[in-house]
């Protein structure tokens, strides 16, 4: 098939490609979707993998058991150093296939049911109001990342797991070491080992004094009964801790930056009701899609997708941020409609590995966005947006800091 755009290269540059706008995917994705052709990109470990940019094919691959998430399989391509480092620990739910995936996942699912999440809404509202009170008392400018976006999910997931609130800064620093791409292999390893050492000590404390939290449940039901080892519990808790704060905090900060730069959407959110706030979250998730490095899979056998043959042992990278702008699914993909949101996006992934905590993340963002811009309608970025440092060097997209004033 003839490629329609001369700017496309085969192979394309490495992932992630450069953005022209900090709130939109690289322009090559739009060209790829229109060309209907498939190309290969180079990932961190030097391997070339097929890049999938369309919505339909992304969902097909992520739900097809012939494509593996098991990073211990020979030839699995690693997108970044953190993926390569974390595989050295015990198996985690995000890096294994069935049936082990469901076995690991079911141990924590109860803590993230819709009923459990809704029961937390009032406490999240109190937390958000308190953070806004503190910012108003302090006066601008403040860093919306450290004073708001990071605190909300860190506090909530810590409460669920049973992590002391005074340790938030410590585990966030260790998490940053793991996922900062410029740290190199030694820095990433130091972050992993440090975080696991911290969690190991915390878990062993709960052996002697279990409480009403998820880590204590792991201890009493699985560690003490011999179903899991200490290291296996460490890995499962580490996965939940990282997933529970890193992605949501990045999404809150990036979403706030976007809303401040696009007042028409901010005003639509402010004037709307709770339904509008929920729609705003869905549209921001789709539009911003912070998993900017996509999801990687390994073909376990020859598979044909949309007329393209992917051979056994080849890697496939599903670009979620491109799939969420697919014109064949979203009629106006570069516009946001909070009243009629597109809820069938893939910002949380798709298939068996779809984010277990997505309900919690949605609720936290609904409260955060609506309350912040209702109480602080004049909030604005305190520096030119060109001076904001975006997280191109982190596996999850967002902003490193966001100075704001009012």
pLDDT in tens, 22-37: 999 999 999 999 887 8
Burial of 28 per CB tally in 10 Å (0-12, 13-18, 19+): buried
Element holding 171 (H helix, E strand): helix 168-179
Question: pLDDT grade, residue 6 (50/70/90)?
Answer: very low
The bridge status of strand 48-52 relative to strand 315-318 is parallel
**Which tokens hold the place of 306?**
């949309």
Is residue 2 in some structural domain? Answer: no
The full length of the chain comes to 406
Residue 399 per-residue DSSP state: B
Residue 266 lies in a domain: yes
- Please check whether residue 287 lies inside any domain of the structure: yes
CATH number at residue 295: 1.10.630.10
Instruction: Assess contact for 312 and 299: CB atoms under 8 A.
Output: yes
On whether residue 8 sits in a domain, the answer given is no
**Segments forming the whole domain that contains residue 235:** 28-405
Average pLDDT, integer, range 174-188: 81
Per cent of the chain over pLDDT 70 is 96
Contact 218, 203 (CB under 8 A): yes
Is 23 domain-assigned? no
As to burial, measured by CB atoms within 10 angstroms (0-12 exposed, 13-18 middle, 19+ buried), residue 225 is exposed
Q: What is the pLDDT of residues 335-355, one digit of tens each?
A: 999 999 998 999 999 999 999
Which pLDDT value is given to residue 169? Answer: 84
Is the pLDDT at 3 greater than 50? The verdict is no
Note the pLDDT tens digit of each residue in 217-242. Answer: 999 999 999 999 999 999 999 999 88
Question: Is 22 part of a structural domain of the chain?
Answer: no
Token pair of 289, please? 């899609």
pLDDT at residue number 10: 54
382 occurs within a structural domain: yes
Q: How many domains does the chain have?
A: 1
Q: Which of 331, 319, 364 is nearest to 24 (CA)?
A: 319
pLDDT in tens, 39-97: 898 887 788 899 999 999 999 999 999 999 998 899 998 877 767 777 777 778 888 99
Q: Has residue 124 been placed in a domain?
A: yes
Tens-digit pLDDT profile for residues 114-147: 999 999 999 999 999 999 999 999 998 999 999 9
């Amino acid at each position: 098939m003839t490629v329609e755009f001369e700017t496309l290269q085969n192979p394309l540059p490495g992932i992630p490609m450069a953005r022209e706008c900090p709130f939109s995917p690289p322009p090559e994705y739009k060209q790829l979707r229109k060309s209907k052709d498939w190309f290969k990109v180079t990932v961190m470990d030097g391997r070339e993998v097929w890049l999938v940019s369309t919505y339909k094919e992304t969902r097909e691959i992520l739900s097809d058991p012939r494509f593996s998430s098991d990073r211990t399989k020979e030839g699995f391509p690693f997108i970044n150093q953190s993926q390569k480092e974390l595989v050295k620990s015990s198996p985690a739910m995000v890096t294994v296939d069935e049936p082990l995936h469901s076995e690991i996942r079911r141990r924590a699912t109860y803590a993230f049911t819709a009923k459990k999440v809704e029961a937390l809404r009032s406490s999240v509202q109190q937390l958000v109001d308190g953070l806004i009170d503190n910012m108003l008392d302090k006066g601008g400018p403040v860093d919306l990342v450290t004073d708001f976006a990071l605190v909300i999910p860190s506090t909530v997931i810590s409460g669920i797991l049973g992590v002391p609130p005074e340790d938030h800064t410590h585990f966030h620093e260790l998490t940053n070491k793991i996922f900062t791409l410029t740290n190199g292999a030694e820095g990433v390893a130091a972050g992993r080992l440090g975080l696991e050492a911290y969690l190991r000590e915390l878990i062993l404390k709960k052996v002697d004094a279990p409480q009403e939290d998820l880590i204590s449940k792991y201890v009493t039901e699985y560690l003490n009964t011999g179903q899991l080892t200490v290291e296996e519990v460490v890995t499962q808790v580490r996965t939940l801790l990282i997933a529970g704060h890193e992605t949501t905090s990045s999404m809150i900060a990036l979403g706030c930056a976007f809303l401040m730069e696009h007042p028409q959407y901010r005003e639509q959110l402010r004037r709307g009701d709770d339904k509008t706030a929920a729609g705003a979250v869905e549209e921001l998730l789709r539009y911003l899609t912070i998993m900017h490095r996509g999801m990687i899979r390994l073909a376990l056998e020859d598979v044909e997708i949309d007329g393209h043959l992917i051979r056994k042992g080849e890697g496939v990278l599903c670009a979620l941020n491109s799939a969420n702008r697919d014109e064949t699914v979203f009629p106006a993909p570069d516009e946001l409609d909070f009243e009629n949101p597109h809820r069938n996006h893939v910002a949380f992934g798709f298939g068996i590995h779809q984010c277990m905590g997505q309900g919690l993340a949605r609720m936290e963002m609904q409260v955060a966005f609506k309350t912040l811009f209702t109480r602080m309608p004049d909030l604005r970025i305190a520096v030119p947006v060109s001076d904001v440092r975006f997280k191109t060097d982190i596996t999850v997209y967002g902003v490193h800091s966001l100075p704001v004033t009012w």
